[in-house]
Amino acid sequence: MTKNSRVIWSEGLFLQPQHFQQQERYFDHEIHIRTAHFHGHCHGFHQLQLDPDLLLAGKVGILKASGYFPDGTHFSIPDKDPAPPCLDFANAVKSGKVYLSLAKPHWAGRHLDWTPEEAPTNNRSPLKYLAETTEISSVYDPELEPSAVDLARLNLFLSAEHLHQEGHVQLAICEFRESRNSEIQLVDAFIEPCLCSLQNANIRRILEAVLALLESKINQLRQRRVRKGSHNSSEIGDFLLLQACVQHRLIVAHLLRSKQVHPEAAYLRLLACLGAVTLYGDDTAADFLPNYDHDNLRLAFDAVFTALRNALAGLHDQHAVQIPLIQKQAGVHLGQITDRTLLVNAHFYLTVHAAAPEELVQRQFPSTVKIGPVEKLRDLVNLNLPGVRLKHVQQAHAALPYYADHLYFQLETRTDPLWKMLDQTGHIAIHYAGDLPELRLELWAVRREQERLL
């Protein structure tokens, strides 16, 4: 006997409930198979909202949820199905996942629990459905009295990962771990299996971060000066990379506006973006990406985002690396050189802008600035010792962004003993004691091998 076969309806057939149950199994199977073949990942949440009050009490419960189990069963809490009883973390292990679960009994076994008040025991697992009697009115004849109809509602329950049992379909709703003070905390980076990318805040944050990375790279490439009549390989590569970044920026921006993008579709777009940018840099970035796992979306999205971020950072290293400067107080800027190889293998440039004539800035700034390790800044200022010296350059390096209203100074680092001290911490300090108005500084490093190419 085939459990999913069609019922043969014939004249004179003595109808029994089993006929309708078998026909229902046939339709359910047909729908599930066709949708599964159309798209391989049809299970997950359309909506998921946990109860924040229960979390404070060391429990987990569901306020709202809707979606599909892996077997195709649809659920909607609380509109169609009752919320499952909450799960107490005190009865769980120190870490793991919590699942929304549903029994998947044998097709010929018992599916309905007519006595829901009887709690499941160790010898009796919850059945798939709970019986509920509801008064239903006629939608065609309002004069008819409402009739009592027995309905089957899903018998949903929550289970911890270590209590996984055979014969159930499950969807992970959260991940938890024990903190240092023995409190149970949810893992913020967890991504539940979902059917819409923007349903999960972590996928949204990843897409927003990718968009920001692409916009930063686009701005950086647009600021590069393309010299008239120059068509070297670096500038052509910049143009092609700019084209790729603009194209994928539009795609990622669309993903953030669309409400019905499946996570796999978003993942494929990120893969395409990664492939486009690695064409101009390290093409091994995608070699170690894990396979897409719809039940472990965090693994897939974290891996592709890390590879994409590293690929874009590597492209930045091909030309110039900006050392972010933070203004701590009037006249003092601090920076962190995280890549210590730059101290030996790069030339450093300081771009200076002020609301003053360029001749005044060029003459006054080098004589009133102190540059050196943070640990030596106090001595440089109080004892009026010379710091790392600056040399004005007439033409900005081709790898640097071109600003028409900026002056460019190169740091003379090769023989300066102060510069060698930066290798210990990488913390650089810039102190300016002059009175140039609206002073803005940027610190850049250009790798020497790139300088030879440009």
The CA distance from 211 to 193, in Å, is 23
Which position has the higher pLDDT, 298 or 1?
298
pLDDT at residue 283, rounded to an integer: 61
Which position has the higher pLDDT, 227 or 387?
387
The helix/strand/coil state of 133 is strand
Task: Report the C-alpha dihedral over residues 256, 261, 263, 269, rounded to 10 degrees.
Answer: -70
Q: Give the residue among 337, 179, 206 at the shortest CA–CA distance from 269.
A: 206
The helix/strand/coil state of 19 is helix
E-only strand ranges, 313-386: 320-323, 325-329, 332-336, 346-353, 369-373
Cα angle: 433, vertex 400, 333; to 5 degrees: 25
pLDDT at 315 over 60: yes
Q: What is the CA radius of gyration of the chain?
A: 32
Give the end-to-end CA distance of the chain in Å, rounded to a whole number. 76
418 Ramachandran zone, left/alpha/beta (phi>0; psi -120 to 50): alpha
pLDDT digits (tens, 9 = 90+) for 240-262: 888 999 999 999 999 999 988 99
The CA distance from 98 to 174, in Å, is 6
Domains plus CATH for the chain?
39-135+146-178 (no CATH), 197-317 (1.20.140), 320-453 (no CATH)
pLDDT at 210 over 90: yes
pLDDT digits (tens, 9 = 90+) for 16-38: 888 788 788 777 777 777 776 66
Could you tell me what percent of the chain has a pLDDT over 90?
Answer: 31
Q: Would you say the C-alpha torsion 75, 78, 79, 81 has a positive or negative sign?
A: positive
User: Please, which pLDDT band fits residue 343 given cuts at 50, 70 and 90?
Assistant: confident
Mean pLDDT of the chain: 83
Mean pLDDT, residues 362-375 taken together = 89
pLDDT at residue 454, rounded to an integer: 44
Which DSSP category does 114 fall into? S
pLDDT digits (tens, 9 = 90+) for 127-138: 888 888 888 888
